[in-house]
Amino acid sequence: MYFSNILVLFTLVSLIPVGYAEEQTGKLHPNNAQDETAPKLQLRPRPRSNSELPPTVWAINVYESGDFCYISQENVSLWRSDASEPLKVTIQQYDTASQSEVMLRWPTNQTMLTWPQKKLPLSENLSYMIQVNDIGRIVNTHRLPSNLATASNTDKAKWMQTQGCTRQADMLTNTTKMGAS
């Protein structure tokens, strides 16, 4: 479990090099040139743009690992931002004895697919490996407690934050704010 947590953490943060051009051209920062022990390459998290947000709170971005909260599996869908070509998507439960696996064909020009609940029902507090063109991402699912089904979006968002579904919680509270204005 420890190794899978590290794997998930690593895949959650996309890193890009800072100072790569300087290293390639030999023009290093003066601090790095004087200190042999100083790292020549620094890494920082890559900022995400709002264009990478799914159109609905209950859509799983198939290009990201992380936590996903849902109310009912009937509302869950898969989402991709670029629908310019067809994809092969494979979904399976992760870290379980179950060998069930679902393979989906995602047509061109279609950004959303419904979760294949008849073939692979969502189970709360389970992880799923979602492979897009053979690149896998781990998604941990969390079902909202039944007492929150009729709660305010703010209360749902608070619970979602505690489960690690930060982006969804932000989307839910921003939807509430936009609806109130």
| pLDDT beneath 50: ranges in the chain | 1-50, 178-181
**May I ask the CATH class of domain 51-180?**
mainly beta
Separation between Cα atoms, residue 66 and residue 55, nearest integer Å: 18
Contact 30, 103 (CB under 8 A): no
How many angstroms separate the CA atoms of 27 and 177, rounded?
48
* pLDDT score recorded for residue 176: 55
Question: Can you tell me the distance from the alpha carbon of 69 to that of 58, in angstroms, rounded to the nearest whole number?
Answer: 8
- Could you say which DSSP state residue 48 is in? P
Q: Strand 87-94 and strand 101-106: pairing? A: antiparallel
User: Are the beta carbons of 143 and 124 closer than 8 angstroms?
Assistant: yes
d(CA 59, CA 80): 9
Task: Look at the block and give the residue holding tokens 């870290």.
Answer: 95
SS3 131: strand
pLDDT at 26: 43
pLDDT at residue 97, as a whole number: 72
The one-letter amino acid code at 13 reads V
Which tokens go with 132? 């897009």
Q: Where are the domains of the chain?
A: 2-45, 51-180
Q: Alpha-carbon distance 163 to 142, whole Å?
A: 7
The predicted pLDDT at position 50 comes to: 40
Q: Residues 80, 62: contact at Cβ < 8 Å?
A: yes
Token pair 């743009």 is found at 49
Express each pLDDT in 50-100 by its tens digit: 457 899 999 999 999 999 999 988 889 999 999 999 999 999 998 777 778
> What pLDDT, on a 0 to 100 scale, did the predictor assign at position 51?
52
CA distance 129 to 93: 6
